[in-house]
Structures are given as C-alpha cells and as structure tokens.
Amino acid sequence: MLGAVLLLITGCHEGPPGADEGVQQGILLLGNGAEPRTLDPHLATGTVENHVISALMEGLTNYHLTDETLAEPGVAERWKRNEDATEWTFYLRSDARWSNGDPVTARDFVYGFERMLTPALGAEYAEMLHVVKGAAAFHAGEVDDFSAVGVEAIDDHTLRISLVGPNPQFPLMVNHYSWFPVHRPTIEAHGGLLARGGEWTQVDNFVGNGPFVLAEWKPNQFIRIEKSPTYWDREIVRLNGIVFYPAQDENTELRMFQSGRLHYTYSVPTNEIAHLQRRQSEHLHIDPFMGVYFYRVNVTRPPLDDVRVREALACAIDRRLLAERVTQGNEIAASSYVPDMFPDYESPVQLEYDPERARRLLAEAGYLNGKGIPPIEILFNTMDAHRKVAEAIGAMWRETLNIEVRLLNKEWRVYLDDQTNLNFMVSRSGWIADYPDPMSFLDLYTTDNGNNNTGWSNSDYDRAIDRARRALTAEERLQLLEEAEAILMADLPVIPIYWYTRKYLKDPRLKNWFPKPLDNRPYKYIYLEND
C-alpha cells in the first residue's frame, strides 16, 4: 500500500518540464549558478544576473552568434561615426517595442543613461558610462544638469552619443547591460528613478524590450521566461521559453543534468572532471574563458618592494605543472597577464619557469639562498581550489628559493577588505574581462584605478593606457596596450598564474550555442532539436 501511495505521489507532475519534454516544447533548461540579486540592468553586477537580463532586455547592439568581438544590430539597426570616432549616431529601428507594446525610442536610452549616472542611485557599474562626455562629472555630483552629458535624442529614432576620446570599439561596448534602456513609465510607477528595491522588476510589473518576457519568478527555485510577442525579431526566435535554475551546489546541478532535468550547467565540480571526461565526454565541454588567475603583490611591503624579489617569485612558479596536476580543469598556464585570446594582440613578454634565474635574482636582492628574507604570506579566500594552488605555489617557492611561506585563509568579505586596504603581502586574485578587449585587463593598474590594490604606480604605464584610450585606430591602440603590458610584466605588481577555462555540461540537442570567451548568449538564435 505504501508503494501505491508512493507511485501516486511520484506520478503527479507540476513544476518545470524535464529535459526531454523541454526539447519537445522548446523550453530551455539552464543551470544558472545562484539566485540573481536583481533583474534591474542598472543595479546588476554579475554574470548570473546578466544571463537572465540579456534575455529580457536589449541594448543598442546585441551579442553576436559566434564572435564576441563583433557588434550586431540590436535596437539600433545601423550606426555611424564621425571621423575621429568621438561621436556616434545610432539609428533605432521603428518596430522595436517594449513588452507592453510601447515603441522603444531614443529617449528611453537617454533616460536609462541618466538613471545609471544619477549618483543617488548608487549604480555599481556606472563607471562603464564614463566614456561619455560629461558623464564622470555628472556621476560625481559636480554637475546637476543631465543635459551637460553627451547623449542626445535627436528624434524618436536617432541617438547621438559624444565621447571623451576616440573609441572605434564603441558599438561593441554598448551591448553591456549597463547601457540598456529602461521603460520610464514602469520605473516611475514603482518607486521612481532612485528606487533600489526592485519593485518594477517583479513579474507583474516587469517591462522589457528583449526576445523574452518574465513569466514566473520563484526565488531560489527558478525563473521562467517566455517568448515575447512584441519583440521586433520574434520571427527568428525558436525557443518558447527558458527556465533558469539557481542551483548553487555544483554537485546538485550535476545530478540534475544526469537525471534529465537540465540542458546546460553553469559549472562542473572539479573532482568530477576526470570521471566525466571518461564517461560523458559528449556532454562535457571545457572552453577558454576570458579571465586570468593571478597573485597580487603588495609592492609597498618589504621585501616585495624590490622588483627582483617579485621576479624571483614569478620565475619560481612552474605554471605548466600547476595547470596539469593541481587545477585539473584544463586551465592554460599563463605566459603573460592578458589571455592569449585576441588575434591582433600579442603579449610582449613571455613568462617562463626558470628556477635558476629565480635563485640568482633573489641573491642579487640580497637574500642568497633565501637567507634573511621574511616569510611570504599568501592570502586567499575560503575555497578548496585556492588552497590547493596556494599550497602548490608555496611548496615551489620553498623548494626553489628556500624561503618560508605562510598561507592565510580568510573569509570572502574579510579577504576583500584586506585586499582593498593593502593588508596583505601576496593575495590570490582573479579578473574576468568586462568586454572582449585587452584594455579590460590592463586599465586596472593605472595609478588612480580603484581596483589596482597593489600600491603600484608607474607614470609611463598611466601614459600608455591614456594614449591607448585616445588612439584613433585599432592598430595604434593595441600597439600601445602591448607597450603597457610590457611595463606591467617588467615590474610585476601582479604575478599571472593561469588563464581561466569554463567547464560545463551541454545537452547535444541544444543547437546554435557556440562557446564564447565571455559566455554572452544570443538567446534569440538558440534552439532545441532532437537529433
């Protein structure tokens, strides 16, 4: 009788469909890593949020199907620039609509930028818009009138943006969610421009202009979105809906995939990779990801203020061994700071494992055979992976240089504060590009950048970065960035270790999903089909 009862209750099915039904119904089931903190494009800061927001909303340009470095028309069907790429004019399509039927106009973008840059809102990514003329001053509260900022709605379908300097890449930048428009009547009906509470993002209130609309949001359970009936390109959207599961536990997500509840996972538990490579290799994917794992060095703290010591530490790391044996996720041993993912950019300095050179440098710095050097502390936040790397690198330093190494494991927020306050010697760090360009990796280390966190300041470097920002051609820009990276790698306030890879499981029935270095997804092209 218990069996009958069990059968009865397991028979009833509510909730989202399984993977097979999903293929039949055109509903994509995605693991999305964590519960999004917000669906407001101006307050969001993470990839988890972006994965949902980029389905619900659309900017001037869109993600390309395969190439992260190409801008594809979004709300703007075409654009033109002035001669030195300081002024861009976007022509919006006339059939772009919000999900409630209202037309999307240039004024919606102006309103969006104003909201983003309003200091009282406290938008964390507002700095992305500082390339616009007058934006930084308005954002700092120095100027009260938004009309001083270089954005203008010439008419309903023409938007002109003036920049602080030449930027041939600008159309590529504006597919980021910090540049998305928002629907003004909706915002004003739910607390106004400054409201951070997200009332307007609730299911009954949300108005977006993307290929999908918000249908159901059960916090910590799932977010379900449906194909939008008003999206201008709805004819080519083949998915009927997407369900995002915030599966925080990687092992739970793996079980969900293996029991037929997901088409795609957010990640894969590291210790399962070898097993999956043997048993489920048709599902497992490992792609390069545009990010670098590195050790930040506090150059204000002796003995690390001596560049020879820093270089010794850098040369004493066998990155290949680390990537092969310790991290086990097919990570790529870093030969420089900027990942080798940009076809026209070549990092000038190639880091190598050279224990002899390391010992020589340390001796030159006055610590022959490690004598007299204080212990080096490696700070990292609580995570098994970081501990393993720190232990391995600590062992390498001990063996090669005969120095004492201490591991400092701190909780995430304490670790963040320590890094910000330069309360460390060497600190584990990672950086993922905001946009697919070497600049996104290199502009952190200018003297005034809030993410520098090394105490390093080099005016040649600042100059190179500044000139790169103002370069008129792509060649010139990349050339200047290569010069900047050369300075960075000569001084080594950061010691690159490896370049990231992304590991995930993908159902082969998921089509038109190409690996992208930043994992930006053009959902409008993706579809599900039985083989």
Residues at the interface with another protein (CB under 8 A):
6, 9-10, 12-16, 35, 37-39, 45, 119-127, 139-141, 196-199, 201-202, 218-221, 245-249, 251-252, 255-256, 258-261, 411-417, 420, 450-451, 453
Q: Which residues make Cβ contacts (< 8 Å) with residue 489, sequence separation at least 6?
A: 336, 337, 347, 348, 349, 351
How many helices (H) and strands (E) would you count in the chain? 17, 18
In single-letter form, the type of residue at position 47 comes to T
Q: Between residues 411 and 531, which has the closer beta carbon with respect to another protein?
A: 411
Q: Between residues 176 and 261, which has the closer beta carbon with respect to another protein?
A: 261
How far apart, in whole angstroms, are the C-alpha atoms of residue 117 and residue 122? Answer: 8
Q: Between residues 15 and 372, which has the closer beta carbon with respect to another protein?
A: 15
CA 491 to chain centre: 26
DSSP secondary structure of 186-248: HHHHTT-TT--S-GGGSTTT----SSEEEEEEETTTEEEEEE-SS-TTGGG---SEEEEE---
User: What is the smallest separation between the CB atom of 369 and another protein, expressed in angstroms?
Assistant: 38
User: What is the smallest separation between the CB atom of 38 and another protein, expressed in angstroms?
Assistant: 6
User: What is the smallest separation between the CB atom of 4 and another protein, expressed in angstroms?
Assistant: 14
Q: Between residues 294 and 527, which has the closer beta carbon with respect to another protein?
A: 294
User: What is the smallest separation between the CB atom of 208 and another protein, expressed in angstroms?
Assistant: 15
How far apart, in whole angstroms, are the C-alpha atoms of residue 355 and residue 397? Answer: 9
Q: Are 518 and 440 in contact (CB under 8 A)?
A: no
User: What is the smallest separation between the CB atom of 280 and another protein, expressed in angstroms?
Assistant: 12
Q: Between residues 101 and 219, which has the closer beta carbon with respect to another protein?
A: 219
How far apart, in whole angstroms, are the C-alpha atoms of residue 362 and residue 499? Answer: 27
User: What is the smallest separation between the CB atom of 478 and another protein, expressed in angstroms?
Assistant: 24
Angle at 366 between CA 362 and CA 369, to 5 degrees: 55
User: What is the smallest separation between the CB atom of 71 and another protein, expressed in angstroms?
Assistant: 23
How far apart, in whole angstroms, are the C-alpha atoms of residue 101 and residue 229? Answer: 9
Q: Between residues 75 and 262, which has the closer beta carbon with respect to another protein?
A: 262
User: What is the smallest separation between the CB atom of 252 and another protein, expressed in angstroms?
Assistant: 5
Q: Between residues 175 and 178, which has the closer beta carbon with respect to another protein?
A: 178
CA 116 to chain centre: 19
Q: Between residues 100 and 221, which has the closer beta carbon with respect to another protein?
A: 221
Q: Between residues 44 and 526, which has the closer beta carbon with respect to another protein?
A: 44
Q: Are 333 and 346 in contact (CB under 8 A)?
A: no
User: What is the smallest separation between the CB atom of 132 and another protein, expressed in angstroms?
Assistant: 16
Task: Classify residue 104 by its DSSP letter.
Answer: P
Angle at 407 between CA 404 and CA 411, to 5 degrees: 160
- Phi then psi for residue 454, to 5 deg, are -130, -15
Q: Between residues 37 and 325, which has the closer beta carbon with respect to another protein?
A: 37
Q: Are 51 and 212 in contact (CB under 8 A)?
A: no
User: What is the smallest separation between the CB atom of 11 and another protein, expressed in angstroms?
Assistant: 8
Tell which residue, 194, 257, 206, has the closest CA to residue 55. Answer: 206
